[in-house]
Structure 1
Amino acid sequence: MHLMAQTPLVKVGIMSQKQIYYSDKYDDEKFEYRHVMLPKDIAKRVPKTHLMSETEWRNLGVQQSQGWIHYMIHQPEPHILLFRRPLPAA
């Protein structure tokens, strides 16, 4: 997907080692997307074998509105969680 190339991952500035970073939302014709960057101490608890349920990512401390789905594991950077949710019908 080429959308990530169009959206900066990290805003310029210093990110706390213990802070969860939430990207701005971006979309295509079907979905709204966002990515969440976890600090190292939390990232160690991310399962490597499956995509997380909403309960699992909330238990890690990720806070966002309902409807977001952890849809992909980005192998080069497993501390970055990729989420999407369907756009509302027009």
Structure 2
Amino acid sequence: MHQQQGINSQRPSIIYSDRYSDDDYEYRHVILPVDLAKIIPKAHLLTETEWRNLGIQQSPGWIHYMYHQPAKNHPVPSDFGRHPHNDPNYQDQEMIEN
């Protein structure tokens, strides 16, 4: 897990899990401090603009696809995924071999 140091050292940091993948997608968990999780809209999943405005920092192409129910006074995980082709550092194996 990686922590982002916030501007205010009193505020808990956003925590980023390592990436993991299956045959089709890459995933990661972003764990939000309780105070930040309280202001997330609950009616829809976050757009890239919304999660960036909350201070979540990831490379382009990540899609917010799941909320977890918050436990009282505990950090709240949110799940993100992307197709490997959306990774700016992705290189298609066929292109590498040609």
Query: Where does residue 7 of structure 1 map in the other structure?
Result: none
Q: Structure 1: which 5+ residue stretches go unaligned?
A: 1-9
Higher relative contact order (CA 8 A, sep 6+): 1
Select 2:82's aligned residue among 57, 67, 85. 85
Q: Is the 8 A contact 1:23 1:34 kept in 2?
A: yes
1:38-88 Cα shifts (integer Å, max 9, x gaps): 111111111111000000001110001000000112235682110000023
- Count how many residue pairs are aligned between Structure 1 and Structure 2: 77
Higher Cα radius of gyration: 2
Identity %: 56
Aligned to 2:44, what secondary structure does the other structure show?
A: coil
- Offset at residue 17 of structure 1 (A): 5.5
Contiguous gaps of at least 5 residues in structure 2: 3-9, 86-91, 94-98
Select which of 27, 40, 49 maps to 1:55.
Answer: 49
RMSD: 2.2
